[in-house]
Amino acid sequence: MTVSTPPDGEKPVDATPDDRDPWRPPPPGPAPASRGPHPMEPLLLPQPRAVGMGIPALVLGVVGVAVGMLVFLFWVSWLPSLLAVVFGCVGLSRARKGLATDKGMALAGVVLGGCGLLIAIGSGVFTGFVVKAMVDDKREQVEEVRASAEAQRKTSEAEEKARHLSFGASYAFGDGLKVTVAKPEPFDPDSFATGHEKGNKAFQVTITVANTGTERFELDPGLPRVNDADGATTELVIDGSGRQKIISGYVLPGRQVVGKYAYSLPPDAAGTMEVEFSPDEEQWERSYWSGPTP
């Protein structure tokens, strides 16, 4: 059997026996690709539990207690103490649920916050009592001063009222001196009198100073002051009759001195008169005797 020549002139390749063997196993193919490692599920690591509100609760509790111990700042300790209690309760709740690990600090914050609140409340109550006691004491002092002033006013009014007497009455000045002003008597000045105008009415005032004490007393009364019915000061009448007598010198124990003075009053204000007198004006205020004229 002949093999035809290819048209391009090349010689055909002779077939090998292997190419013609139908029972021959197929030639080995390429080596299989290497397989990678078997895929594994990622490891689930336990998540760390977060720190809760224990630290701020503890810090605020310490601050509340520390501030509460200060004398002038205790009144602001309630705020950090209250926040410490709130944060501590929140921290304890989170710790029970397993969301936080600071249960001890949260509990300490609650305890310290409670102590801070107690300190703030106790200090406030104590301060309130102290302030109330101070206010009550000041009020008592004011009441005492007011009562003393009222008593002094009433005493002064009583003394002032006691120093206004009617003619013929006696007033005790002190040191055993007792003064009596008699009811005025008409006085007829002589022709040489001074201080008396024509048409006026003249009256004589008799003053008696008695020493009821145990020691003599030097009198320094000055002249009595006499006012007419209108309250105007009247003129002292001096004449040559010798009927006037001025009080001066000493008055012995158990003795008395008598002074006589004449005064001229205008006719339209001569219905009443007032006499002011003191045995020693440097020691005692004047007393007043008043009443109608004859």
Residue pair 113/61 in contact by the 8 Å Cβ criterion: yes
Contact, 227 vs 273, CB < 8 A? yes
- pTM as predicted: 0.54
The tokens of 156 are what? 């002064």
CA 261 – CA 246 distance, rounded (Å):
7
What was the pLDDT predicted at 113?
Answer: 85
Tell me what the mean pLDDT of segment 22-30 comes to. Answer: 62
The string of pLDDT tens digits covering residues 99-144 is 877 888 888 888 988 888 888 888 888 888 888 999 999 999 999 9
Whether 62 has a pLDDT exceeding 50, the answer reads yes
In the structure encoding, which two tokens stand for residue 136, read together? 């009550």
Nearest C-alpha neighbor of 57 from the set 93, 84, 91:
84
pLDDT in tens, 238-248: 988 888 899 98
Burial environment of residue 250 by CB neighbours within 10 A (0 to 12, 13 to 18, 19 or more) = exposed
Digit-coded pLDDT (tens) for 136-184: 999 999 999 999 999 999 888 888 888 999 999 999 998 889 999 999 9
pLDDT of residue 158: 87
Cα separation, 166 vs 183, whole angstroms: 9
Structural tokens at position 114: 């409670």
Phi, psi of 196, rounded to the nearest 5 degrees: -125, 120
The whole-chain average pLDDT of the chain stands at 83
Q: Parallel, antiparallel, or unpaired for β 201-211 and 185-186?
A: antiparallel
**Residue 149 burial (CB count, 10 A):** 10
Q: What is the DSSP string of 123-158?
A: HHHHHHHHHHHHHHHHHHHHHHHHHHHHHHHHHHHH
Cα angle vertex 258, ends 196, 162, to 5°? 90
Comparing C-alpha atoms, which of 213, 218, 216, 206 is closest to residue 178?
213
Residues facing 208 on adjacent strands: 180, 258
